[in-house]
Amino acid sequence: MRILTLAGRRLAASIPTLVLILIGVFVLLQFAPGDTVDALMAQMGGGDATTARQLRQYYGLDVSAWAQLGNYLWRLIRLDLGFSAIYGKPVATVIAERLPATILLMTASLSLAFFFGLIFGVIAARGVNRWPDTLISTLGLVFYAMPTFWFGLMAIVVFSIYLQWLPAGGFEDITVGLTGWRRTLDIASHLVLPTLTLGLFYMAIYLRIMRGSMLEVLTLDFVRTARAKGMDETRVVVRHVLRNALLPMVTLIGLQAGTMLGGSVVVESVFSLPGLGRLAYESVIQRDLNTLLGIVFVSALLVIVVNFIVDLLYARLDPRITTGG
Amino acid sequence: MDMTRRAALLTSAAIASSVAFPMRSLFAQETPRKGGVFTVHYGAEQRQLNPSLQASTGVYIIGGKIQEQLVDLDAAGNPVGVLATSWEAAPDGKTITFKLRDGVKWHDGKPFTSADVQFTAMEMWKKILNYGTTLQLFLTAVDTPDPLTAVFRYERPMPLGLLLRALPDLGYVSPRHLYEGKGDIRQNPVNLAPVGTGPFKFVTYERGQHVIADRNPDYWRPNAPHLDRIVWRVVTDRAAAAAQMEAGQIHYSPFSGLTISDSARLGKDPRFIVSTKGNEGNARTNTVEFNFRRKELADIRVRRAIAHALDIPFFIENFLGDFAKRGTGPVPSVSTDFYPADNGPQYPFDKKLAAKLLDEAGFKAGAGGTRFSLRLLPAPWGEDITLFATFIQQSLADVGIKVEVVRTDGGGFLKQVYDDHAFDLATGWHQYRNDPAVSTTVWYRSGQPKGAPWTNQWDWTDPTMDKIIDDAATEVDVAKRKALYGDFVRRANTEIPIWTPIEQIFLTAISAKARNHSNTPRWGSSSWHDLWLAE
A157 to chain B: closest CA residue: B243
Tell me the C-alpha distance between A132 and B55, whole Å: 62
A170 to chain B: closest CA residue: B209
Q: Where are the alpha helices (DSSP H) in B326-382?
A: 351-360
Highest mean pLDDT among A29-43, A253-267, B451-465: B451-465
Q: Is A251 on the interface with B (CB under 8 A)?
A: no
* CA neighbours closer than 13 Å in the CB half-sphere of residue A301: 7
Cβ under 8 Å to B: A residues 87-106:
87-88, 94, 97-98
The percent of residues above 70 in pLDDT, for chain A, comes to 96
Q: Please indicate whether residue A46 or residue B404 has the higher confidence score (pLDDT).
A: B404
- pLDDT score, position A45: 67
pLDDT score of B24 more than 80: no
Residues A22-60 pLDDT 10s: 888 888 888 888 888 888 777 776 667 777 787 788 787
Beta bridge partners of B152: B96, B142
Are B517 and B54 spatial neighbours (Cβ–Cβ below 8 Å)? Answer: no
- pLDDT score, position B23: 46
Q: Do A282 and B236 touch (CB under 8 A)?
A: yes
Torsions phi, psi for B162 (to 5 deg)? -65, -50
Minimal CA separation from A261 to chain B, in Å: 17
- pLDDT score, position A86: 80
Contacts of A36 in chain B (CB under 8 A): 411
pLDDT score of B134 more than 70: yes
Residues A130-147 pLDDT 10s: 998 999 999 999 999 988
B430 to chain A: closest CA residue: A45
Contacts of B242 in chain A (CB under 8 A): none
C-alpha distances in Å from residue B256, one per residue of A138, B45, B509: 41, 16, 8
Contacts of A287 in chain B (CB under 8 A): 411
Q: Is A50 on the interface with B (CB under 8 A)?
A: yes
Minimal CA separation from B265 to chain A, in Å: 14
Q: Do A88 and B37 touch (CB under 8 A)?
A: no
Q: Do B415 and A271 touch (CB under 8 A)?
A: no
Q: Do B408 and A33 touch (CB under 8 A)?
A: yes
- pLDDT score, position A47: 66
- pLDDT score, position B146: 96
- pLDDT score, position B140: 97
- pLDDT score, position A304: 79
**Candidate from B207, B249, B449 with C-beta closest to A49:** B449
**Candidate from A43, A97, A156 with C-beta closest to B207:** A97
- pLDDT score, position B98: 97
Q: What is the ipTM of this complex?
A: 0.81
Contacts of A98 in chain B (CB under 8 A): 207-208
Minimal CA separation from A67 to chain B, in Å: 21
* CA neighbours closer than 13 Å in the CB half-sphere of residue B238: 14
- pLDDT score, position B500: 96
Mean of the per-residue pLDDT values of chain A: 85
Residues B75-98 pLDDT 10s: 888 999 999 999 999 999 999 999
Interface test with B, best of A28, A43, A287 (most B CBs within 10 A): A43
**Candidate from A53, A153, A175 with C-beta closest to B37:** A175
Minimal CA separation from B137 to chain A, in Å: 12
Q: Do B453 and A272 touch (CB under 8 A)?
A: no
Q: Do B47 and A32 touch (CB under 8 A)?
A: no
Minimal CA separation from A56 to chain B, in Å: 12
Interface test with A, best of B207, B211, B441 (most A CBs within 10 A): B207
Q: How far is CA A162 from the centre of its chain?
A: 30
Interface test with B, best of A31, A154, A174 (most B CBs within 10 A): A174
Size of interface A-B (CB pairs under 8 A): 172
Q: Do B210 and A278 touch (CB under 8 A)?
A: no
Tell me the C-alpha distance between A185 and A178, whole Å: 10
B231 to chain A: closest CA residue: A175
pLDDT score of B13 more than 70: no
Per-residue confidence band for B456, with pLDDT thresholds at 50, 70 and 90: very high
Cβ under 8 Å to B: A residues 254-313:
269-272, 274-275, 278-279, 282, 285-287
Pick the closest to residue B121 from B77, B85, B170 (CA basis).
B170
Q: Is A129 on the interface with B (CB under 8 A)?
A: no
Mean pLDDT (whole number) for A173-201: 87
Q: Do A169 and B235 touch (CB under 8 A)?
A: yes
B37 to chain A: closest CA residue: A175
- pLDDT score, position B126: 93
Q: Do B411 and A50 touch (CB under 8 A)?
A: no
Q: Do A153 and B239 touch (CB under 8 A)?
A: yes
- pLDDT score, position A324: 52
Q: Do A175 and B206 touch (CB under 8 A)?
A: no
H-run or E-run covering B385: helix B383-398
Pick the closest to residue B275 from B435, B38, B34, B512 (CA basis).
B512
**Candidate from B46, B128, B439 with C-beta closest to A46:** B439
Contacts of B55 in chain A (CB under 8 A): 44-46
**Candidate from A44, A46, A285 with C-beta closest to B409:** A285
Neighbour count for residue B447 (Cβ, 10 Å): 8
Are A274 and A267 spatial neighbours (Cβ–Cβ below 8 Å)? Answer: no
Cβ under 8 Å to B: A residues 223-242:
none
**Candidate from A161, A170, A278 with C-beta closest to B233:** A170
Mean pLDDT (whole number) for A176-182: 80
- pLDDT score, position B308: 97
- pLDDT score, position A80: 86
Tell me the C-alpha distance between B385 and B43, whole Å: 18
Q: Do A33 and B416 touch (CB under 8 A)?
A: yes
**Candidate from A36, A174, A275 with C-beta closest to B231:** A174
Mean pLDDT (whole number) for A228-250: 85
Mean of the per-residue pLDDT values of chain B: 91
Q: Is A161 on the interface with B (CB under 8 A)?
A: yes
Q: Where are the alpha helices (DSSP H) in chain A?
A: 2-31, 36-44, 49-58, 65-77, 91-126, 131-145, 148-155, 180-218, 221-228, 233-235, 243-270, 276-285, 289-317
Are B194 and B208 spatial neighbours (Cβ–Cβ below 8 Å)? Answer: no
Residues B410-438 pLDDT 10s: 888 999 999 999 999 999 999 998 899 99
Tell me the C-alpha distance between A94 and A293, whole Å: 12
pLDDT score of B6 more than 80: no
Q: Do A270 and B239 touch (CB under 8 A)?
A: yes
Report DSSP state, residue B69: B
Tell me the C-alpha distance between B42 and B63, whole Å: 12
Tell me the C-alpha distance between A257 and A307, whole Å: 9
Q: Is A1 on the interface with B (CB under 8 A)?
A: no
pLDDT score of B14 more than 70: no
Per DSSP, the three-state class of B9 is helix
Pick the closest to residue B498 from B448, B529, B459 (CA basis).
B459
Pick the closest to residue B257 from B239, B269, B272 (CA basis).
B239
Per-residue confidence band for B3, with pLDDT thresholds at 50, 70 and 90: very low
Tell me the C-alpha distance between A280 and A74, whole Å: 22
Highest mean pLDDT among A98-102, A284-288, B144-148: B144-148
Q: Do A167 and B413 touch (CB under 8 A)?
A: no
Tell me the C-alpha distance between B501 and B182, whole Å: 47
Angle subtended by helix axes A180-218 and A91-126, to nearest 10: 40
Task: Say what the pTM is.
Answer: 0.85
Tell me the C-alpha distance between A310 and B371, whole Å: 62
Interface test with A, best of B419, B450, B525, B533 (most A CBs within 10 A): B419
Tell me the C-alpha distance between A45 and A36, whole Å: 14
Q: Do B451 and A52 touch (CB under 8 A)?
A: yes
B129 to chain A: closest CA residue: A47
Contacts of A285 in chain B (CB under 8 A): 409-411
What angle is formed at CA B232 by the lines to CA B202 and CA A182, rounded to 5 degrees? 90
Tell me the C-alpha distance between A287 and A39, whole Å: 7
Tell me the C-alpha distance between B271 and B22, whole Å: 9
